[in-house]
Copies of this chain bind each other. A is one copy, B any other.
Amino acid sequence: MGPRCGSSARRTCRRAARRWSTVGASDGSFKRPNGAINGFQTGASSWVASNRGRDEGDADWAKALRSNLDATSTRRAHSAALGFDETEPVNPFTIVNDELSAISARMRQAVTSEVPALATAAEYFFKVGAEGKRMRPTVLLLMASALTDLSSGGADALSGARAASVSIDHAPAHEVPDDTRRRQQRLAEITELIHVASLLHDDVLDSAATRRGLRALNLEVGNKLAILAGDFLLARASVTLASLRNTEVIELLSRVLEHLVTGEVMQMTAKPERLMSFDHYFQKTYFKTASLIANSAKAIVLLGGHDTETASHAYDYGRHLGLAFQFQDDVLDFVGSGSVLGKPTLGDLKEGIATAPVLFAAEEHPSLSALIERRFKHVGDVELANDLVRRSDGIERTKALAREHSALAVKAVEALPAIDCPHALRCRKGLKELAHMAVRSEEHTSELQSLAGSR
């Protein structure tokens, strides 16, 4: 699968692979300090394997990974003994599907039971068909399960947890949930509420007339109601967050709110000279896209009672996954089609935004600087910028950057503490599969793309 590299892309795929192999070998984290078998290098290896057909000539890179591939067979045997076949294909969405449906039902119910007019507005994003893949809740529930040893409590614990996970939590948002899984589900819900609220506010006065393939809410019900609906979801997130009664988690999610706003403002109001800065772009991308998933992944692990080191691996996973998605999304704005992306190609340029492909291209074509600094406002700027990007390695370098972060996300999963529960192992594989999907163009549809920040 992976991005289809033409001849001009081959160089960069190799570069990305080399970067990835450097990443894999840089700090020796492939080997657990305690000697425990880590079943999760397999996923990274198979991602590498799936890229090998397109990079066969890169012997150095393949060689560097050979010993890891050898070690993999031993781990597979261990996983199989636990009842988990590492070679089985995993659909990350299927694993948590029932639980996601229950959370969605709770969100819909919570929204619709309030002031009816507002419910209409807020529900707009929650109605069936519009809700996309619920990428964030999927990541979070997988992360929670990836660290939960269901087998340690025996079959009762397993069935109990499963039953709890798929029944709808009808308690009001402000009621303190008493079990860990419920608390984690609420965090997943909070994260989605914050995300949708930010979409609603972004929609207001945005030139884009559609989002998720539907008419944008602001056109349907008026800007003011869109603002209020966003505020309502933020307030609901805030109330639900308070009910978790965990001050560290509350702090993490509060910072995310600040990041979302700061990122949006950085994009809107940067001075011309800052628009040329890759640091500025990277920081903005973290604030707008990666902070929410990174910090909520950390939070859901803390709610699970795990230590701060484990929580920091979860943070790393979310951060790199979010960045990978956004970088790939920036690529697809140049190479995808409107029907696949759910928004017009070159949308970023048309909105005056210079993303990684343009910033890289400007290194080869200094004449791009003037266009970037005037936000492509002159007639012909968008077309000229697009032409210069295509006559540079900007797109390939951005793809490589996305793959680098995808690989780092995989590595973060591998750094999680060893666990002997087949369901947890399956969830870890699901997390890694999400990281792979982040950089596969053909799966980067408008639905998956919802992980990427809204502009």
Contacts and interface: CB of A to CB of B under 8 A. Distances in A.
Nearest to A256: B235
A201 interface: yes
B255 A250 contact: no
A316 B377 CA distance: 56
Given A227-B201, A247-B247, A118 B255 contact: no
Nearest to A116: B269
Interface in A210-232: 222-225, 227-228, 231-232
Interface string A172-210: 001000000000000000000000000001001110000
A227 B229 CA distance: 13
A167 to B, nearest CB: 25
Nearest to A174: B251
Given A242-B250, A251-B242, A265-B228, A235 B223 contact: no
Given A204-B227, A227-B204, A242-B250, A174 B255 contact: yes
Contacts of A239: 251, 254-255, 257-258
A268 interface: yes
Contact of A205 (B223, B238, B266): B223
Contacts of A222: 205
A115 interface: yes
A261 interface: yes
A245 interface: yes
Contacts of A114: 262
A261 B228 contact: yes
Interface string A251-275: 1001101101110111011000000
A294 to B, nearest CB: 17
5 contacts: A118-B269, A231-B261, A232-B262, A238-B254, A239-B254
Please provide the 10 A-B residue pairs with the shortest distance between their CB atoms, ordered closest to farther: A117-B269, A235-B257, A235-B258, A238-B254, A242-B251, A245-B247, A239-B254, A118-B265, A242-B250, A242-B254
